[in-house]
Amino acid sequence: MGSLSSTFQAPSPGQEETAEGISTNHKHGCDCKKRKRNAQCDCDSEQEEDDAILDTPRRQGWLKTNKQNSDIRICALGQEWNLHKVYLCQSGYFSSMFSGSWKESNMMEINLEIPDQNIDTEALQVVFGSLYRDDVLIKPSRVVSILAAACMLQLDGLIQQCGETMKENISAKTVCGFYACASIYGLDLVMKKCLEWLLNNLMTHQNVDLMKELGAEIMEQLIQSSDLFVMQVEMDVYTALKKWMFLQLNPSWDGPIKQLLADADAWLCKRRTDLCEQEPFLNTEEGESFCSVFKYVRLQYIINDLASARILERDNILPLEANKDEFELSSMRCGRKLTKDGDYCWRWTGFNFGFDLLVTYTNRFIVFKRNTLSQPCGGAEYVVMNLDSRLLTFPLYVCCNFLYTSPHSDPRPDSSEQESSTRIVS
């Protein structure tokens, strides 16, 4: 038979015949049926007649499909189809069944076991019909069931057409279902297309129903990807995850998207109050399942903003204390050469995108001070090292490593703190 495509052609007048068990008679006088289905015409509103025709096997000019000349009956899901082995052998499933030494090769009636719950009688009608015609139109609402049936019967052409239909109809309503279906049936290109759509639209077109459908596994892939289109800044990724987590834990929530963040914040606050909880949410049994997603939040670009750091502290979702391994892998490395003894004051250009840290060497003390100017947080000095004059030689090299983390339980005036390691090389 010819290759499958997404067009549908009507038979010439007088050429329609009935395929008992598969087809029924239909008449249609509109010439638009000879064109691509994406063309607009007045007859498009005749949905019921179109649907019946689309599920009817296309009769070739010399083929008569009727109950008398069929040589095999297929029974499945409580329905029967009178078909022909010569056409069924286009299917890898039936080709193997009829060509080997299987007992079914000589049987006139085959009872098909349908283990896949995605397959229904309508899908089988379309799939069997595709064996008798060149062209099949697959409706996006039916593509998952048809794909499932095509995979079971090993119809590669129809599987490919289902994949193309899915790629052309990805939207907020279909993307999760299509991704899950493509994962089950091995359509890697469809999975890739769905991920691309989510990377481009997750942050820009936030949708309550979509967030409810997104599982942790796919969300993990999205958040860690450098291709995620972030609307505004990295803090917005954290905010989107907070809303997503709230919907996962409260799937019955039904409100406008504009109200979602306020309700998520209120839920977190109520939970902390009711449980008198001091532990970060991700360290609790309820929050443990979200750790794999939140670990990809790029905190180093969030906590350098005072307002964002305060939100992180208030929410208490993330366990932000840095550990030694994280410090070794992620700390910022800075250095300075002091050519001779004396008083020095310097800053490292571009240090943490605006955290203007002044470093002073005077009287053998190395002092850190935040140059906050008019910002509300304080500008206290911290002596980080007192050097022994007996051991000092110049030139002196000062090396510092910095990593920003959340404050400890007794927070300082500003809501972010930097862990540092300073060493001296003479």
Contacts of 372 (CB under 8 A, 6+ apart): 356, 378, 379
Average pLDDT over residues 329-346: 86
Q: Is the peptide bond before 395 cis (omega within 30 degrees of 0)?
A: yes
- pLDDT (tens digit per residue) in 9-26: 333 343 333 333 343 333
Average pLDDT over residues 180-184: 95
Say yes or no to pLDDT of 46 above 70. Answer: no
Structure tokens at 112: 């098909």
Q: Return left, alpha or beta for 60; rule: phi > 0 is left, psi -120 to 50 is alpha, else beta.
A: beta
Which pLDDT band holds residue 60 (cuts at 50, 70, 90)? Answer: very low
Higher pLDDT, 379 or 101: 101
Higher pLDDT, 367 or 52: 367
Say yes or no to pLDDT of 66 above 60. Answer: no
Strand partners, 386: 365
pTM: 0.65
Amino acid 50: pLDDT: 39
Residue ranges of domains in the chain:
31-169, 202-315, 324-425
Amino acid 272: pLDDT: 87
Say yes or no to pLDDT of 409 above 80. Answer: no
DSSP-derived letter for residue 59 is: P
Q: What are the φ/ψ torsions at residue 230 (nearest 5 degrees)? A: -100, 120
| DSSP letters for 78-102 | TEEEEE-HHHHTTSHHHHHHHHSS-
Percent of the chain residues topping a pLDDT of 90: 44
Q: What are the φ/ψ torsions at residue 295 (nearest 5 degrees)? A: -65, -15
CA dist list (Å): 89 to 1, 93, 97, 127? 11, 8, 9, 13
* Identity of the residue numbered 265: D
Structure tokens at 39: 């063309």
Contact status, residue 37 vs residue 7, Cβ threshold 8 Å: yes
Say yes or no to pLDDT of 340 above 80. Answer: yes
Say yes or no to pLDDT of 52 above 50. Answer: no
Are β-strands 109-111 and 72-76 bridged in parallel, bridged antiparallel, or unpaired? parallel
Neighbours of 155 (CB within 10 A): 24
Average pLDDT over residues 168-175: 96
Structure tokens at 47: 């949905």
Which CATH class for the 31-169 domain? alpha beta
Amino acid 392: pLDDT: 87
